[in-house]
Amino acid sequence: METRLQRAAHLLDVPHLVVFTGAGMSKDSGLDTFRDADGVWSRNAPEDYASPEGFRRNPRAVWRWYLERREQILAAEPNAGHKAVAALEQLLPRVTVITQNIDGLHQRAGSRRVLELHGSVHRYKCSKNCRGVSTLTPTPELDQTEPLPCPYCGALTRPDVVWFGELLPAEVWKAAVREILACEAVLVIGTSGQVEPAASLVWYARGRGKSLVEINPAPTLINDIAEVVLPGTAAEMTPALLAALAALHAAD
């Protein structure tokens, strides 16, 4: 009889796979999720640190909070889950990662096609968005304890991440929708499915008949529409799934 892992591997053995990830993907790298009981929002109010109003009220506090998060992220390493996602590229013709994470760990693990829906802590931008979406790369000079002025217009610089109440970067969103429409299967890892519009990509995919497999140690809103749920962490389940997929290919 087919095991759950084997069934998941069969469903994901497609020409074009999308891997959709959330904060749980990086939990095994020591980075906290947001909504879990021990998550970031249990200690900090989102409206203070992740909203344009919070930044206007206290730009320094927000800037420092992100500096600290970026330091934690730079000190963290991609975990076995990120590495297994990157290794899927060796087994399947096209793999696109669509992530809600801002930590850049997928790229560090070697994934080549990554769409960052919520931006990145590794980029800064002008808080007035002068010059469209032009971004700044952090340098020791910019990494001061308070935000420096934008070199073009003098407004404050800020992390290039998406805050509550803000739109997702249009080009990235369009590319993500294109990938969802073009793929045959979606592997969802470590997201609660509560953050819109990101989560709606998973429902679009299911509505259009794409296969759906989910890895998460806890129940989520996506459980009901997933064809196979692999209950476990990203670092344990993703390598197991990769091995099942490799075994499938070896048997061919």
Distance between CA atoms of 103 and 69, rounded to whole angstroms? Answer: 9
Of 23 and 156, the one with the shorter C-beta distance to ligand NAD is 23
User: 110 to each of 43, 106, 186, how far by Cα in Å?
Assistant: 32, 7, 19
Joined tokens for residue 165: 């109440």
Cα Rg for the chain, rounded, in angstroms? Answer: 19
Of 150 and 234, the one with the shorter C-beta distance to ligand NAD is 234
Catalytic residues: 118
Task: Pick from 70, 83, 106, 118 the residue near ligand NAD by CB under 6 A.
Answer: 118
Enter the DSSP assignment of 208: T
> How many residues at the interface with Zn ion, by CB under 5 A?
6
Of 23 and 86, the one with the shorter C-beta distance to ligand NAD is 23
Helix (H, G, I), strand (E, B) or coil at 184: coil
Residue 214 interacting with ligand NAD (CB under 6 A): no
Question: Which amino acid makes up residue 231?
Answer: P
Strand-by-strand arrangement of the 228-230 sheet:
114-116, 94-99, 16-21, 185-189, 211-215, 228-230
Task: Pick from 201, 216, 229, 230 the residue near ligand NAD by CB under 6 A.
Answer: 216
Joined tokens for residue 113: 């096609």
Distance between CA atoms of 24 and 82, rounded to whole angstroms? Answer: 11
Task: Pick from 14, 191, 226, 228 the residue near ligand NAD by CB under 6 A.
Answer: 191
Name which of Zn ion, ligand NAD, none residue 130 binds, using a CB cut-off of 5 to 8 Å depending on partner kind.
Zn ion
Of 16 and 44, the one with the shorter C-beta distance to ligand NAD is 44
Query: Could you give the string, one character per residue 10-49, with x where binding to ligand NAD holds by CB under 6 A and - elsewhere?
Result: ------------xxx-xxx--x-xxxx--xx---------
Placement of tokens 């991440």 in the chain? 161
Of 39 and 138, the one with the shorter C-beta distance to ligand NAD is 39
Task: Pick from 15, 133, 149, 152 the residue near Zn ion by CB under 5 A.
Answer: 152
User: 143 to each of 56, 113, 139, how far by Cα in Å?
Assistant: 19, 28, 6
Distance between CA atoms of 109 and 241, rounded to whole angstroms? Answer: 17
Binding site for Zn ion (CB under 5 A): 126, 130, 150, 152-153, 155
Binding site for ligand NAD (CB under 6 A): 22-24, 26-28, 31, 33-36, 39-40, 100-103, 118, 190-192, 194-195, 216-218, 220, 233-234
